[in-house]
Chain A
Amino acid sequence: MQKSFWYMALFIGILLCGFIYLGSIITKLSGEKGKTTEVATGVTPEGGESIFWGKGQCHTCHSIGSTGSGIRGPNLGDVAARAVSRAEERNAAGASGMTATGYLIESIAQPNNYVVKGFKAEMPYVYKAPIALSADEVKAVIAYLQTQGSEFDIAQIVLPPEIADTGKGGDEGAVAEWKPYVEGDAAVGESLFFDLKGDIACAKCHTVNGVGAKVGPDLSTVAATRSAEYIIESILEPSVVIASGFEPVKVKTKKGKIITGILKEDNDEHVLVMNSAGEVTEIPKGDVKKLKQLKMSVMPPFGNVIKMEDFHNLLAYLLTLK
C-alpha cells in the first residue's frame, strides 16, 4: 500500500476525531438532550412553563422578559398585565365582554384576530399539527402566561370548542388514536399488579393509591400524564426512558466497593443509593471515588417474560389509573 494512502487515512482520522469532539463540546454547551424523560405537566403554571420552553415551541418566537431569544413574536413578559388593556381595547372595538384571560385564550385559539403592531400574522395554531398541543396543554400555557404580570386563575380558562375538542379526532392527521388490539381485563390486571408472589408483582416496586413499595415511580395517575405507548414501552423496555428521579447509578468507593441502585440523594455530606429491594445505602461523600449514571433501568424488561394475556390485562388496569 502506498505511503500516501496511509498519510491520507491518518489525516482523515484526525479530522474525524476533531469533528466528534466538536459535537461533544457543542452538545455540552447547548445542554441539548436526545430522548429524555418528559417533565411532569398537568394544568399548572409550572406545567405551562415547561411546555412554553419545550414541546409547545413558543420560545422560538417569544421571549419572556430578559429570558429567551425569540423576537419574531412579541415579548410576553408582563403579558397578563398588558392583556387587561388589550381586552378593553378589543371591547371598545366591538368584542363583547372580553376579559384579560379571554384575550390570552383568543391569542392562542385565533392568533390572527388581533396582531400586535409591528408583527406579522404568522403565529401557527398550536393545537393543530405539527405542534398539536392538547387542550390541557394549552390551558397550562395560558395559566403560565397569566402569571406574567398577574395572578393565575385556572377556573377562568374556558377554552373555545376548536381547542377543547382537540384530540377527539381529526388533528392527528392520518394516524388514528392508539387503541389496544386485545381488550384486557382491568380487574385481572389489578390482581397481577398487587400479587407479590406472582411473576409480575409490580407493587414490589410501585405504589398505586398508597399501596405498594416506593422503589419506582408512583403510578396512581400514570394514565393521566402518560400515553398508552409510553406505558407499553415502560413495561417492555424500561431502559428506553427512565423516569426523572429514578435514574440508576453506579458508585465506586475509594475502597473499591461498587454499589448500584437508584440515586436518591447526592449532597456535600453523603450519597444515598436505593437498591431494587428498597434498601438505602448511605455513602459518605468523602468515600465516593466515582459516581456514574447508568443507562439500564433497575426495572427488568418484561418483554420476554410476560405472557401476552397478562400484558393486556395489566395494561388495561394501568390505563384506568387517571
Chain B
Amino acid sequence: MPESNPTTVQLVEAVCAFLENDVMPSSQDRLAFDTRVAVNALKIVARELRLGASLDESEQQRLSGLLGQNGSLDALNDLLTAQINTGVLDSDTPDLMNHLYQTTMGKLQIDNPRYSTYKRLHDKGKNGDQGSLS
C-alpha cells in the first residue's frame, strides 16, 4: 500500500479527539458512556497500529527460540498451545513463563496500559524486551 497522509494512526486520533472534545461534553447518560467506551476502543486501535507489528515480530522470534523452529506467528502459537496442553511445556519452564509474561505485557500495552497489574509489573521492570525475569 502506498504511503498516505495523514497516516492511519493520525486519522484514528483525529476521530478520537473529535469524540472526546466535541461529542462527549454535549452528551449525557448512555450516550456519554458509550462515547467514552468508543474513545477507549479507538485508543486501542491507535496503540495497536503503532506497536502491533514490532510486538508481533518479537513474539515470533521468542517463539522460534522456545520451540526450536521457524514458522508464521499463528503456526508457532498453535504449536505452543498444543505443547502446553499436553504438558510438554509448563510453568516450571522458565523460558515459557518469560515468553508468556512478555507477550501478555505486550497485549496489555495495547489493550489497557492503565491496568493495575500491568502498571505494577511495568514499574518493576518486568516487561522489557530485554526481558530478564527474576
Q: Do A and B come from one complex?
A: no
A residues engaging B (CB < 8 A)?
none
B residues engaging A (CB < 8 A)?
none
